[in-house]
Amino acid sequence: MTLPPATVSTRGGGLSTAARGRRKPSLDRISFMAVFLGIPLAIYLLFVIWPFLQAFFYSLTDWSGFSPSFNFVGLDNYARIFTDDLFLKALGNNIILLIVVPLVTVVLSLILATLVTVGGSSKGQIKGLKNSSFYRVVSFFPYTIPAVAIGIMWGQIYDPSGGLLNGILNGLGLNFKDYAWLGNASTAMWCSIFVIIWGFVGFYMVLFIAGIKGIPSEIFEAARIDGAGRLRTALSITIPMIRDNIQTAYVYLGIFALDAFVYMASLFPNAGGPENTTLVMSQQLFFTAFQRGQFGMATAMGVVLAVATLIFSGLVFLVNKLTGGSDGGRL
Amino acid sequence: MNVQQSFARRGFLRGALATAVLAPMGGALASCASGGTAPAGPTGQVSENNPFGVPDKSTLDAVIFKGGYGIDYVEFAGKLYEKNLPGSTAKISPSTAISAELQPRFAGGNPPDLVDNSGAQSIGISTILAQLEDLQPVVDAKNLEGVPIKDTLYEGVLAPGTFDGKLVAINYVLTLFGVWYSSSLFEANGWAPPKTWDEAFELGEKAKAKGKYLFLWGKEAASYYLELALSSAIKEGGDEVRVALENLKEDSWKHPALTKVFEALDKHVKAGHFKPGGSGTAFTAAQAQWSNNQDALLYPSGSWIENEMKDQTKADFKMMGAPVPTVTTSPKMPYEALHSGGGEPFIVPSQAKNKAAGKELLRVMLSKEAAANFAKTKLAPTVVKDTVPADGFGSTALVSQTKMLEAAGKNVFNWQFLDLYGMNKDVLVVWNAFLDGKSNAAKLAEDMQKMSDKIRNDASIKKVEIK
């Protein structure tokens, strides 16, 4: 009996406060704005926008990183990095990662997510495979391991003489004695991509599971009554209903693929892999800054990296929009 | 109304963001993180006991690379320093990433008073050359025992820290390079460390017969074979080989002496004297295959190898070092000549607040007590002579180091260009491919030449003339 009037009075009070506030700003309202808008904005300006601008400024100089002085060299650094064969090689490697890693990871985790949520028995309630919660937990394991540890661990697994992989292959009667998976230009990149995907699939699977769980099961049931099989359901219901999640995943994975520093640095310490086949831009940036002492050039690389990331994100949004997705998404 | 309100709020945010982007552009850009020139800090009374004039009751700020040697040896010297200058404090801080950690301090004009610029993330010395103190006064000064420091040092140990004729770094640890082997294994099989590449090839064949390899390598340490090749070529062709390489001369990698060494190594690679798969093996794992499994007979490395592999060396592995093989039996420098470098380069930044204190701590470290403490606790000699007893504290490797040094006498050499121009990363790529059999002697020389040419032709890289 007391409940309905209370609700009414709260709503009324809220409205009247808002109306009063718009007319003359009270101390309450100003302090609210200062705390919730002013402080975050100041932090954002100081720690995000300002470093960005500084980085761009330094990319136009020949600063060594250690000296107090430097000269302005205009766009010289940009001209130089775009004629540097190693940087271009690194850029190319990043593009390979950018094409392969998000695509394979998203497809793989979508399949797994579908299996453990709606891929189960086609009779009775909509559910996943038997023991699906077990698979879900197991496939999330790799994500809980720090990337550096993953790199070191897989470095050991790929070890030519004592590694697990060659041990298994030799045990199967194949002759892989002393084959250096990470030491050959033809296999190093693909082995690294495998490690990266291995590390990420679990997380994106969980992300997609959450998305699929948000779809009302009536829709799946209706589709099933209409005679849709599992593949049809996945393509026509699951994917369109969680496309915002997929876009988010794609953007995150793309940003990661353009970086990839941690994995590459732990799989190939101090160098760019065999014939530089796994060298990525962020590694080249790090070497240029801290070993060559060319901070100006390194920040120019950083700017290129940032621009590449923005272009990629823009492309993903554009593609999603062109193919009929919602505007903006849930990023 | 609700929609309107939301639009108004967005408008406000958008406006704020635009201001945020535009505001800092207004002129503030020019005032970046750079600092001005540091004031020449206060100086104290110069005396016999305080030759650099450390101010009374001042604090010394030293940042020491914390790697294989730890920082306790500097702390030990710090205690002596505090005892010597009562009332003063020595603050010794460890760091594992010297470059990244100290970069803001250098750029901001407040670097530490003493830095051990070592480790994989050390600061490229050429980038800070102009900002370093001349350390000649330190070696000219007398140590705590009253003997001029320069008279107590091994031959050639100051060369690695001298650039453009200015002594900017004092390498504290003496490092010898050679090939390392187990004398017990060699005795049991009647083998001897090879003196020429022909002998090395014979030994490789003998090893093969025993189911072993002559050499092995790890992916991060493929550059050790560049060290081996350079040492051998410099002994063969004399100092001119080194000088040409140091100064990035055209075709310096095509010197006949280098060509012969590369060809000799290539012969080993093609004959299967290298354990395959090194380019995919972590160097620590590879080194354990040598010191523990004894898969290979020889390993080219610096004298730190004994300490590094202490826990992974077979019980009866009596580690000894030998000079690297020469091409002919009559090289320009004798077989006994050595590549002797230094580890742990200590530098004193010119902008440091208390640089006198930095020099003073170095003086203490180079005195007998601190140097002897280092040799005893780290089983490695410092650049200070006569700190290792005849029994080498029970270490065969340490004894053989002393012998190698005595045999070499004045025939020691060292090169700086690889570190100076930060070439290690690119060297690893080229050498892994070569040792893997994916390239050959001619291609190796060409790849190295290309690397050298690229640096020479890059006007933005400051070149240092090396003699």
Report residue A99's pLDDT band, with 50, 70 and 90 as the boundaries: very high
**Among A284, A295, A276, A301, residue whose Cα is nearest residue A82:** A301
Contacts of B422 in chain A (CB under 8 A): 287, 291-293
Residue B327 has pLDDT above 90, yes or no: yes
Contacts of A69 in chain B (CB under 8 A): 34
3-state helix, strand, coil in chain A (%, to 5): 70, 0, 30
> What's the pLDDT score for residue B317?
93
Mean pLDDT of B212-232: 95
Which CATH code fits B176-340+414-456? 3.40.190.10
Contacts of B7 in chain A (CB under 8 A): none
Residue A147 has pLDDT above 60, yes or no: yes
> What's the pLDDT score for residue B185?
95
C-alpha B378/C-alpha B372 separation (Å) is 10
Mean pLDDT of A277-301: 91
Q: Let me know the angle formed at the C-alpha of A281 by A279 and A285, rounded to the nearest 5 degrees.
A: 110
Per-domain boundaries in chain A: 85-322
> What's the pLDDT score for residue A67?
83
Mean pLDDT of A62-70: 86
Contacts of B433 in chain A (CB under 8 A): 274-275
Are the C-beta atoms of A158 and A244 separated by less than 8 Å? no
C-alpha A155/C-alpha A178 separation (Å) is 14
Domain A85-322 matching CATH 1.10.3720.10: the answer reads yes
The set of residues, in sequence order, having a beta carbon less than 8 Å from that of B287 and lying 6+ positions away, is B218, B221, B299, B301, B305, B308, B309, B312
Mean pLDDT over all residues of chain A? 86
Distance from CA of A140 to the nearest CA of B (A): 28
Alpha helices by DSSP H, listed for B85-164, are 98-107, 125-128, 136-140
Are the C-beta atoms of B166 and B134 separated by less than 8 Å? yes
> What's the pLDDT score for residue A137?
86
Are the C-beta atoms of A59 and A296 separated by less than 8 Å? yes
Contact A68 B422 (CB under 8 A): no
A187: closest chain B residue by CA? B280
Lowest-confidence range among A315-329, B388-402, B429-443? A315-329
Contact A66 B100 (CB under 8 A): no
> What's the pLDDT score for residue A26?
86
C-alpha B204/C-alpha B114 separation (Å) is 47
B31: closest chain A residue by CA? A54
More confident: A88 or A69: A88
Q: Number of helices (H) and strands (E), helices first, in chain B?
A: 18, 10
Residue A19 has pLDDT above 60, yes or no: no
Task: Please write the tens of the pLDDT for every residue from B132-179.
Answer: 999 999 999 999 999 999 999 988 889 889 988 899 999 999 989 999
Mutation target for A interface from B287, B457, B460, B463: give the one with most A CBs within 10 A: B460
Q: Could you tell me which residues are beta bridge partners of residue B59?
A: B89
Please, what is the end-to-end C-alpha distance for chain B in angstroms?
81
Task: Please write the tens of the pLDDT for every residue from A230-268.
Answer: 888 888 899 999 998 999 999 999 999 999 999 999 998
A18: closest chain B residue by CA? B5
Per-domain boundaries in chain B: 59-172+343-391, 176-340+414-456
Contact A67 B131 (CB under 8 A): yes
- Number of Cβ within 10 Å of residue A301's Cβ equals 25
Mutation target for B interface from A290, A294, A295, A297: give the one with most B CBs within 10 A: A290
Task: Please write the tens of the pLDDT for every residue from B418-441.
Answer: 888 888 889 999 999 999 999 999
Mutation target for B interface from A52, A159, A291, A299: give the one with most B CBs within 10 A: A291
Contacts of B20 in chain A (CB under 8 A): 41, 44-45, 49
Contact A271 B220 (CB under 8 A): yes
Contact B34 A68 (CB under 8 A): yes
Mean pLDDT of A74-92: 93
Contacts of B103 in chain A (CB under 8 A): 65-66, 290
Contact A273 B460 (CB under 8 A): no
Contact A269 B220 (CB under 8 A): yes
- Number of Cβ within 10 Å of residue B29's Cβ equals 12
> What's the pLDDT score for residue B102?
92
Are the C-beta atoms of B331 and B235 separated by less than 8 Å? yes
Pairs of CB atoms within 8 A across A/B: 153
Contacts of B100 in chain A (CB under 8 A): 290
Residue B90 has pLDDT above 70, yes or no: yes
Q: Hey, CA dihedral for A193, A199, A205, A211, is it positive or negative?
A: negative
| ipTM for this model | 0.79
Contact B128 A66 (CB under 8 A): yes
Task: Please write the tens of the pLDDT for every residue from B246-298.
Answer: 999 999 999 999 999 999 999 999 999 999 999 999 999 999 999 999 999 99
Contact B106 A67 (CB under 8 A): yes
The set of residues, in sequence order, having a beta carbon less than 8 Å from that of B75 and lying 6+ positions away, is B92
Which of B106, B276, B282 comes nearest A66 by C-beta? B106
> What's the pLDDT score for residue B391?
86
Are the C-beta atoms of B279 and A274 separated by less than 8 Å? yes
| Token duo for residue A167 | 């041990």
Are the C-beta atoms of B174 and B382 separated by less than 8 Å? yes
Contact A271 B428 (CB under 8 A): yes
Are the C-beta atoms of B328 and B238 separated by less than 8 Å? no
State the Cα torsion B61-B67-B68-B72 to the nearest 10°: 20
Distance from CA of B421 to the nearest CA of A (A): 6
Q: Could you tell me which residues are beta bridge partners of residue B321?
A: B180
Place of tokens 């310096």: B252
Contacts of B109 in chain A (CB under 8 A): 68
Mean pLDDT of B375-386: 88
> Beta strands B162-163 and B166-167: pairing type?
antiparallel
Mutation target for B interface from A58, A187, A270, A283: give the one with most B CBs within 10 A: A270
Contact B279 A183 (CB under 8 A): yes
**Among A268, A156, A279, residue whose Cα is nearest residue B219:** A268
Contact A270 B424 (CB under 8 A): yes
Domains B59-172+343-391 and B176-340+414-456 alike in fold? yes
Contacts of B13 in chain A (CB under 8 A): 37
Residue B384 has pLDDT above 70, yes or no: yes
Which of B32, B220, B425 comes nearest A57 by C-beta? B32
Contact A269 B16 (CB under 8 A): no
**Among B274, A160, A191, residue whose Cα is nearest residue A169:** A160
State percent of chain B over pLDDT 90.
64
Place of tokens 């001042």: B58
Give domain B59-172+343-391's CATH number out of 3.40.50.300, 3.40.190.10, 3.90.1150.10, 3.30.420.40: 3.40.190.10
Contact B29 A270 (CB under 8 A): no
Report residue B42's pLDDT band, with 50, 70 and 90 as the boundaries: low
Rounded to a whole number of angstroms, the CA Rg of chain B reads 26
If you average pLDDT over each of A65-79, A248-262, B39-53, which comes out highest?
A248-262
Q: Let me know the angle formed at the C-alpha of A166 by A162 and A169, rounded to the nearest 5 degrees.
A: 145
Mutation target for A interface from B95, B106, B219: give the one with most A CBs within 10 A: B219
Contact A161 B275 (CB under 8 A): yes
Q: Let me know the angle formed at the C-alpha of B35 by B34 and B39, rounded to the nearest 5 degrees.
A: 165
Contact A162 B220 (CB under 8 A): no
Place of tokens 């309630």: A125
Are the C-beta atoms of A118 and A126 separated by less than 8 Å? yes
- Number of Cβ within 10 Å of residue B239's Cβ equals 13
Lowest-confidence range among A123-132, B36-45, B96-105, B218-227? B36-45
Which of A68, A185, A274 comes nearest B107 by C-beta? A68
C-alpha A39/C-alpha B293 separation (Å) is 61
- Number of Cβ within 10 Å of residue B38's Cβ equals 18
Which of A49, A86, A180 comes nearest B279 by C-beta? A180
- Number of Cβ within 10 Å of residue B296's Cβ equals 24
Contact B277 A178 (CB under 8 A): yes
> What's the pLDDT score for residue B394?
84
Mean pLDDT of A150-171: 91
Contact A67 B107 (CB under 8 A): yes
> What's the pLDDT score for residue B452?
95
